[in-house]
Chains A and B, each alone.
Chain A
Amino acid sequence: MHNKPKEALIHMSKRKALTWYQAWGIRLIAIVAALIVCAVITSITTGLNPLEVYATMFAGAFGTKRRIWILGKEVAILLCISLALTPAFRMRFWNLGGEGQILMGALGTAACMIVMGDTMPNAVLIPVCIIAAVFAGAVWALIPALCKARWNTNETLFTLMMNYVATQLVAYFVIVWEVPKGSGKIGIINQSSKAGWLPVIAGNRYLLNILCVAMLTIAMYIYLTYSKHGYEISVVGESVATARYVGIKVGWTIIRTLMLSGAICGFTGYLLVAGTDHTLTTTLAGGQGFTAVMVAWLAKFNPLGMVLSALLLIFLGRGAGEIATAFTLNQSFGDILTGIILFFIIASEFFINYQLHFRGHGHNGPDKGGSSSAPLASGRAPEGETDSANSKEKREDPANV
C-alpha cells in the first residue's frame, strides 16, 4: 500500500504568527478543557458538584470587598517580583534569587524600623528604609552578576544558593530581635508607634502598595520597550557576540540590569515589611520568588501581560484555599486543580507556536522540505518552511513575542 519512505506518526512544525483572536481562541479552548478535566477529577475523587467547587473558588477570590482588596494586595506583590525578574530574564540571565533578594530588602527595612524607629520622624524614616531595602536587594543580585560578568559563573546556581544565605541571615537577626526572648519570633514591629509603617491612604491599608506597583509596571514597560537600556538588554539576550560587535558593554549591561532586578526585589521586601506584614520571618517571601518566574514566563516577559498572569495565579491560590475550608478538603486538592489549569495554559502556548501533523492527514507526501508538504490544517504556511524554520525559531522563543 505504502511504497513511500516511512513517515513519523506525528510531527510538529512552527506556525506562522496567528492573529490575536486565533491565539486567544486557543487559550480559551485550553481553559475550557482544563475546567472540564478538573470537573471530572473533582467528581471522581470527592463526589462534589464541580460547578459548586468553581463557584466557591470564585467566591474565595472575589466574594467580599475585603477579599478583593486582599487579592489586589497579593497580585501587587507577586507582580512586583515578576517585574523585578523580567529585565534579567530578557537578557537570558536566569535570576532565581528573587526569594533571597526580597528577604534582604525585608531585612534592611526591618533593621531600620527596629534600630531607628524612635530616633526620627516617619517622613525621614520611610525614605531611609526604602534606600536600605533597595540597596540590600541590589547588593544581593550584584554579587552573582559580578561573578557572571567577570568569570562567567553559572548564574542559575549562584542566585539560587544566595537564597539560602539570605534565609540564614534573616534567621540570625530574628533571634537577635525576637520578642519575647527565646520565642524565635519578632512579632509586629513598632505596633504601638507605627514608626516606619507606610501610611494608610483613602482608608485602605493595601491601596498604597497596589498604586506603587501599578506605577512600577508602567515604568518597567516603558523602560524595556522604549529606552536604550531596554534595547541593550534585548540584544545581549539574543546574542552576546552581536552585542559586543555593535559596541554594547556586555559586562556593564549585565551588572546594571541585575542591580535593577535586585533593587526591585528589595523594594518588594520593603512593601512587605513596611506596607503590609510589619514583621520579619524567614518565610516572608513564601516561595513567591519562584512563582514569579512562572508569572513572567506566562506573560512572555511583557510587564502588562504579567498583570493578567499574576492575577490568574493569585486567583487560583485564593480559590484553592477557599475550597479547602468550604468543603473541608485538604489544601492539596485545590493545588491539584491549580496544577491542572496551569498545565493546560502552558500547553496552549505550545499549540499557539506549533501545530501537529498526523501521518496520512495534512501531508500530501513524505517529501520533507520539498514542494508539496504544506500542512493541511492551516494551509497558510509557505511550502518548505516548516521544518527548517522550526529549529531556528525555537531558539528565539520567549523574547520575540
Chain B
Amino acid sequence: MKKTLSILLALILVMGVLAGCGGGGSASSSGEKPAAAATAEGEKPGDDDFLPANNIKVGFIMLHDENSTYDLNFINAAKAACEELGISEDNYLIRTNIPEGQECYDTACDLADAGCNIIFADSFGHEDFMIQAAKEFPEVQFCHATGTKAHTEGLPNYHNAFASIYEGRYLAGVAAGMKLNEMIEKGDIKEDEAKIGYVGAFTYAEVISGYTSFFLGARSMCPSATMEVTFTGSWYDETAEKEAANTLINDGCVLISQHADSMGAPTACEQAGVPDVSYNGSTISACPNTFIVSSRIDWTPYYLYAIEAVAAGEEFDVDYTGTISTGSVLLTEVNDKAAAAGTAEKIEEIKQKLENEEIYVFDTSTFTVDGKNLDSYMADVDTDANFEGDTEVISDGYFHESEKRSAPYFDLRIDGITLKDEK
C-alpha cells in the first residue's frame, strides 16, 4: 500500500514539474517571434528589376550540417555574409543534409517557391540538379561552388565559383618546407629523408592541383623534398584517412598533409608526434603539438559579391575565381609550437610575391614531367564525355591554373611525387 502511494505521489510530482515547465517555456517564447511562418507563406519575388538588400531573400543548400568541416566552412561564410549585408534571419534559409540527387533539385525549387532571389549549393554532386532547377526558374540566380559546367552551359542564371586555393596550398607548402629544413638542421633526419606524406580523397584534378602546389611550395624551401601520396576514395572517411596517415608515417614520411574532410589524418599525426599541415581550417585545438598551419577557402567574399549583384539588379560572373587579393584564399594562424622559426614572416613575404605576380606557383621551370620541362599542355577544361584536352594552359612560362575556369584542372603527374595507389 505504502509503496503504491509513494509511486503515485512521485508521479504527481513529475506531472507537476512537466506542466510547469511547459507553461513557462511557451510564455517565454511568445515574447520573441521566431522566423517561422514567413518561409511557409512563400512570397513571390517582386517584379522590380531593382531589389534593395533588405528586400532580398537568399537560399543555401548544404550537403551535410555543421558537423562536417567542409560544410561548416560554408555555413559560417553564409551567416557572415548575410549579417554583413543586413539580411535578417527571416530572409536567408539554410537547408542542411541535402544529398546529391533529386532532393537537391526539389530543395532548390522549394527555395525558389519561398521567394529566394539567389540560391547557393556547396557540393560537387549538386551541379546537374542545380542546372535543372536553373532552367525552370530563369528569374532566380543559381550559384554552385566547385562545379565545372557554368562556362559551357550558356545559362545566364547559372554560376560556378571556386578559389585559387592552389596559392594557399603553395604557401602552406612553404611552411612545410621550412619545417623540413629545421628537422635537417637539428639532425633529426638526413637531407634525403625529407619525405612528405599526403592523404588525398580521389585522383581528381582538384586534389592533384592541391598536392602538387603544396609540394612545389615545400620544395621551393627544401630542394631535397620528395612526396608520397595515397588516396582514400572518399571525401569523408575518418578511419580510412587515419589509416592512410599511419601507413605514410610507417613508410618514413616525416611530415603529413591532407585533402579530405575528416579529422583522421590530423589526429593520427598528433598521436605519432608527426607535424601536420591541415586543410579547411585550424585543427590546433585537437592537435596542439603537431599542427603547423592550414589553408582554406573563405566563401564570404563570393557570397557578398553575388548577393550584392543580385540586390543591385546587376549581372555577375558566370564563373568566378576568388584569389588571395579578394580574401577568398586564407591561411590560419601559424602554430609556433610546431612550426619552424620565422614561418609566419616567410609566408607573408611569398604571399606578397604571388600577389605581385613576381613568382608563379606552377612555374614550368620548377617542375618536370617524365624528366622534361613542359612548354605546352592541353587541359580538359570543358567537361565532355571523352575527357580530352581542349585548352592550351601553358604560356609565359607557367601553367595557368583556375584562369580558364574556376574549378582546378591541373592534373599533371610531376617528378618527385609518387602515388601509392589511384582512386
Contacts and interface: CB of A to CB of B under 8 A. Distances in A.
Interface of A: 1, 9, 36, 39-40, 42-44, 47-53, 55-56, 59-60, 63-64, 66-67, 70, 171, 175, 179-185, 187-188, 191, 276-279, 281, 283-284, 286, 321-322, 324-328, 330-331, 358-360
B101 A279 contact: yes
A44 B21 contact: yes
B100 A184 contact: no
B89 A328 contact: yes
B298 interface: no
22 contacts: A43-B26, A47-B29, A49-B29, A51-B26, A52-B29, A52-B34, A52-B36, A52-B37, A56-B36, A180-B380, A181-B380, A182-B207, A183-B202, A185-B124, A187-B125, A188-B128, A191-B132, A283-B101, A284-B101, A286-B99, A321-B97, A325-B94
Given A64-B110, A181-B387, A183-B204, 13 more contacts: A43-B21, A43-B24, A49-B26, A49-B29, A67-B110, A171-B233, A180-B387, A182-B202, A183-B202, A191-B131, A331-B97, A358-B4, A359-B4
B188 interface: no
Interface string B193-211: 0000000011111011000
B136 to A, nearest CB: 10
A68 B411 CA distance: 45
B25 A281 contact: no
B65 A325 contact: no
A187 B385 CA distance: 12
Contact of A48 (B29, B203, B207, B385): B29
A281 B102 CA distance: 11
Nearest to B18: A40
B40 A56 contact: yes
Residue from the set B36, B127, B208, B380 with the largest chain A CB neighbour count within 10 Å: B36
Nearest to A181: B387
Residue picked from B29, B93, B127, B201, most chain A C-beta under 10 Å = B29
Nearest to B234: A184
Contacts of A175: 423
Given A182-B205, A328-B94, A330-B65, A64 B42 contact: yes
Contacts of B37: 52, 55-56, 59
Nearest to A67: B110
Given A183-B204, A325-B39, A44 B387 contact: no
A55 B39 CA distance: 12
A317 to B, nearest CB: 11
Contacts of A277: 101-102
A279 B148 CA distance: 18
Name, among A40, A185, A325, A328, the residue most crowded by chain B CB atoms within 10 Å (CB to CB): A325
Contacts of A278: 102
Contacts of B100: 185, 279, 281
Contacts of B40: 55-56, 59-60, 63, 326
B30 interface: yes
Interface string B18-54: 1001101110111000111101101000000000000
Contact of B34 (A39, A48, A281): A48
Contacts of A325: 39, 93-96
A284 B101 CA distance: 8
Given A183-B204, A281-B101, A360-B4, A43 B25 contact: yes
A179 B96 contact: no
Interface residues of B, number: 58
Interface of B: 1, 3-4, 18, 21-22, 24-26, 28-30, 34-37, 39-40, 42, 65-66, 89, 93-97, 99-102, 106, 109-110, 113, 124-125, 127-129, 131-132, 148, 201-205, 207-208, 233, 235, 380, 383, 385, 387, 411, 423
Contacts of A321: 95, 97
Contact of A326 (B22, B39, B207, B411): B39
B24 to A, nearest CB: 7
A218 B39 CA distance: 37
B261 to A, nearest CB: 13
Nearest to B79: A328
Contacts of B1: 1, 360
Contacts of A52: 29, 34, 36-37
A71 to B, nearest CB: 10
B35 A326 contact: yes
B3 A66 contact: no
Nearest to A51: B26
Of listed A44, A179, A183, A331, residue having the most chain B CB within 10 A: A183
A253 to B, nearest CB: 36
Contacts of A180: 148, 205, 380, 383, 387
Contacts of A171: 233
A397 to B, nearest CB: 30
A278 B125 CA distance: 13
Given A188-B132, A283-B99, A328-B89, A66 B22 contact: no
A325 to B, nearest CB: 5
Contact of A66 (B36, B110, B207): B110
A35 to B, nearest CB: 12
Nearest to A279: B101
A44 B25 contact: yes
A313 B350 CA distance: 56
Nearest to B32: A47
Contacts of B30: 49
A56 to B, nearest CB: 5
